[in-house]
Structure 1
Amino acid sequence: MTAPRLMLLDTASLYFRAYFGVPESVKSPDGQPVNAVRGLLDFIARLVHDHRPDRLVACMDADWRPQWRVDLIPSYKTHRMVEESTEGEEEIPDSLAPQVPVIEQVLDALGIARIGVPGYEADDVIGTLTARARGPVEIVTGDRDLFQLVDDVREITVLYPLKGVGSAQRIDDAALLEKYGVSGARYAELAALRGDPSDGLPGVKGIGEKTAAQLLKEYGDLAGIRAAALDPKSRLTPARRKNLVEGSAYLDVAPKVVQVAADVPLPEVDQALPREPLDPMTLEELSARWGLGSSLERVLSVLAH
C-alpha cells in the first residue's frame, strides 16, 4: 500500500506571492482588492492538479516573530515591524491585510486543514508536521529557511515557486548540493553562519554562503568548525579564526533561531484532501460577497476530481 502524500503550504509565503503577482485591479463586487485571495486559490488549484496530494495542510503564522526567538537574537525580523508599533506588528501592505481573514474563512469553508499555533511561525508547524509524517512530504514555500527539512531518504522535498507556482522548482538534496554545497541536514548551519539580512540575522563576519559551505565540508558540522577555531593547529586562517571566535555569542544562539521547531503542540485536524466543501452554504456566501468566481470554481473542480 502506497503511503499517503502530504502537501504543506507555507500559506503566508504564498498569499504574499499571490498579492504581488496578481493585479490589484482584481476586486470584489464592492471594489475591495481580492487579488491575494483569488491568487492563492489559483495556486492551490494548480498545486493539487499537478501534484495530487492525499493530504493538504495550510500552515499559518500565528506568531510571525516569536518572543523566544527575539530573546535569543533581538534583531530577529526587527526591520519588518511597523514603525512605532508597540505590539510588534508585521508590516503588511494596506490592501493585503483585510484579505487574510477572507483567505482563512474560505479555506475553512472548503474544509482544507489550517493550523497556526500561538508562539510559533508557520515554519515551525511545517517542521513538526514533517517530523511526524509517515510518507512523502511536499512543502510549498518561497522561504529558503525550509530547505533544512529536505531529506531524500524520507522523501521530503520543497516546491520552490519561481514564477507563480506553475514553474515551481523541486528542491531535493541533489539540488541543494549543487546550489549551496550542502544537503538539507546541514542547511540550517550554513544559514546561521552566513546570516540572513531579511530575517535580521547578522551571521559571522567575513563568512558568506560559499565560505560557510566550504567550512562545513571540511569540518563536518558547526561544532567541528567551532572546535577548529579554538585549535591552534587547525588550517583556519588567522582572520577566519578570529571572526569565528568573536562570533561565539551569536553562534551559541543562532542555530536555535534558524532551526525550525519539531515539537509544536499541534491541534488534531483532518488532513485529508476534501472532495467537496465542508460548508457549501458559507462558501457560496463568501464567493458572492468577494467575487471569487472562476478561482473558486477551479479549486472545487480539482478537489472533486
Structure 2
Amino acid sequence: MANDDRLMVLDSASMYFRAFFGVPEVTAADGTPVNAVRGFLDFISRLVGDYRPTHLVCAWDNDWRPRWRVDLIPSYKSHRVVVARPGPQPDIEEVPDPLEVQVPIIVEVLAAAGLCVVGADGYEADDVIGTVATGAAMPVDVVTGDRDLFQLVDDAEGVRVLYIARGVGNHERVTDHVVVEKYRVLPSQYADFATMRGDASDGLPGVPGIGEKTASSLLLKFGDLKGIVAAAADADSEMSPGPRRRILDAADYLEVAPTVVAVARDIDLTPYDARLPAEPADPARLDELAERYNLSSPVSRLLATLAG
C-alpha cells in the first residue's frame, strides 16, 4: 500500500436510513421515491470530498439478524421482525415501504458508479466492517451511527469512527480519547461495557441494575468481563454485594451475550477491489439511472468528487 492510502468503510444501512428520514421527499418521474438514494449519494460525496480516502467500501447487511446471534439471544432485534423465516433465510426487517423500494436502486447506482459493495451471507454489515477494518493495513475511517462499532476504534492501528448520529454534516471523530472521555472505558473494553449496559434498540437486555457508570467502574477494577464474572464468583474478591448479586443472577446472559455483541473480525469475504474509481464503471448505465430516477444532480456531484 502507498503511504497516503486511506480506507473509508460505510455502514450503508445506517446511512441510507438516515438519508430517508433526513432528506425531504423527492420522487422520480414515475412517482418512485428517491430521497434516500439522493441523500446517500450526497453523503458519500461529502465524506469523500472532506476526507479524500483512496479506498471505499460500502458494507452491506446480507443478513441483518444472523441466526447464530438469535440462537444465543432470541430477543436480538426481535422487535424489528416483520416476517420470521425458518432455516438459513434472513428474517424480514420492518422497513418503511418508501425506503424499501429505494434500496435496490442504491445497489444499482453504486454498481454503475464502480463503488465497492461488500456483504457476507450470515453476517451483518458490522461484521463486514470489523473484518475489513481489521485487515486493512492502512488508516481506516468507519462511518456509522451505531455505537457498537466503537469497539473497533484503535489509535495504534489508525482506526477511528466517524459517528453520524447527529447527522453526516455534524459527525464526530471518535478516537481512543473520545471513548475514554465518554464512557470511562478503553475501546477494547467497549464490547464488554455494551454487553453489561444492554441496548433496547437491539433487543439486548443487559444486566439488570448495571448501568453505564457501574459497568465502567467494574471494567476499571477487573479489566474485562471474564475478570468481572470471576470476581463475582469469588467470595473473597473486592466486588461489592450489589453488583456481585446482579452479575451472578445474569450468568446465563453473560455466557452468550459477548459473542452476540462482539463484531466479527475474521469472516471470509469474496475478494474485492476497494480503490476509488476516477470514473464510473458503467457510464451509460449510470446516465440511464440518473435520468430515470431524477438523480442527475447527486450523480454529477458524486462523479465530480471522484474525479477531483
Bin the TM-score by the shorter chain.
over 0.9
Equivalent position to 2:295, from 271, 288, 292: 292
CA deviations 1:88-124 (Å, max 9, x no partner) are 2100001000000000000000000001111000000
1:127 and 1:155 map into 2 onto residues whose CA distance is: 14
Aligned residues with identical type, % of pairs:
56
How far apart are 1:238 and its partner, in Å? 1.9
The reply to whether residue 143 of structure 1 matches residue 154 of structure 2 is no
Partner residue, 2:216: 213
**Alignment-derived partner of residue 59 in structure 2:** 59
> What is the TM-score of this pair, normalised by structure 1?
0.97
Determine if contact 1:43/1:164 at 8 Å carries over to the other structure: no
Give 5+ residue unaligned stretches, structure 2: none
Q: Contact 2:146–2:165 (CA<8 Å) still a contact in 1?
A: no
Distance, in Å, in 2 between the alignment partners of 1:163 and 1:221 is 30
Instruction: Provide the aligned length of Structure 1 versus Structure 2.
Output: 303
Give the secondary-structure state (helix, strand or coil) at the position aligned to 1:153. helix
Equivalent residue in structure 2 for 1:182, among 170, 182, 185: 185
Distance 2:195 2:165 in 1: 24
One-letter amino acid of the counterpart of residue 239, structure 2: L
* Counterpart for residue 4 of structure 1: 5
- Matched AA of 2:57: V
The question of whether the paired residues in 2 share the 8 Å contact of 1:18 and 1:164 is answered with: no
1:33 aligns with 2:33: yes
Give the deviation of 1:239 after TM superposition: 2.4
CA contact (8 A) 1:3 1:136 kept: no
Moved over 6 A (4+): none
CA displacement at 1:159 relative to structure 2: 0.2
Alignment correspondent of 1:113: 116
Q: 2:14 matched to which residue of 1?
A: 13
Query: 1:263 aligns to what SS in structure 2?
Result: coil
Per the alignment, residue 197 of structure 1 pairs with 200
Query: What TM-score comes out, normalization by structure 2 length?
Result: 0.96
1:162 to partner: Cα distance: 4.3
Task: Return the alpha-carbon distance in structure 1 between the equivalents of residues 42 and 156 of structure 2.
Answer: 31
Match of 2:283 in 1: 280
Cα RMSD for the two superposed structures: 1.1
Shift of 1:237: 2.4
What CA distance in whole angstroms lies between the structure 2 residues aligned with 1:20 and 1:29?
21
For the 8 Å contact 1:37–1:99, the answer to whether it is kept is: yes
1:32 partner letter? T
**Residue of 165, 173, 178 corresponding to 2:176:** 173
